[in-house]
Amino acid sequence: MDGLPAGYRPNVGVCLINSDNQGGIEDNEEPRSAAIRELREETGIISAEIIAEVPNWLTYDFPPAVKAKVNRLWGGEWHGQAQKWFLMRLTKDESEINLANGEADPEFAEWKWTSPEEVVEQAVDYKRPTYEEVVRAFRPYFNENGIAIGISNLDYGCFVVI
C-alpha cells in the first residue's frame, strides 16, 4: 500500500455522519474497500457513501502494555497502527445500525451521535493526536458548531461506538 509507514499495522478509520445531521485491512485489500467492509461488520451499516478521505496515513504508537497485548492478539511486532481515515454519510436512517449483526464478534456495546470535538475529548491519550488530525482534515465538511455542512443539511456530527 502506497505510503504505509514500516512497522505499523494497516488500519482504517471511519467518521460517519447521518443525513439528519477501527478496523484492520486484510491482505491485498484496498483501504476504501476495508472501510466499507469494517463499517458493515462492526455496525451492520450498508447504506453509507464515502464523501472524503484523509490523503495520508495517520499513525499512533501503542503504549507498552497495549503493544504487548495487541502483538499477542494479532501476531507480529507492531509499533502501533497506521490508519487511512474516511468520512462517510449514512444514506438511510439509523435503524440499520446493529452492533451485534452476527458478521463479527461485537466489538462495541453502545453507540451515539456526537460532535467531532467530543470524539477527540473521549479518545484515549495515545489516539487523541490522530483524532485531532482527522477532525482538522474533515473540518471543511462541518460548520462552526461541529455539524456537517454541504451534505443534505446534516444535523449531527460523528458516529461513535463506545
80-90 and 48-53: which strand pairing?
antiparallel
In the prediction, which pLDDT does 68 show? 92
Query: Which residues of the chain carry a pLDDT beneath 70?
Result: 1, 16-23, 102-107, 143-162
CB-CB contact of 81 with 60 (8 Å) = yes
What backbone torsions phi and psi does residue 106 show, to the nearest 5 degrees?
A: -60, 125
CATH numbers and ranges of domains, the chain? 8-161 (3.90.79.10)
Q: What is the pLDDT of residue 109?
A: 74
- Which three cell numbers mark 36? 466499507
Q: Rounded to two decimals, what is the model's pTM?
A: 0.77
Convert the pLDDT of each residue in 100-131 to its tens digit: 775 656 667 777 777 788 888 888 899 999 98
* Listed residue (157, 151, 140, 147) closest to 53, CA to CA: 140
**What is the grid cell recorded at 93?**
436512517
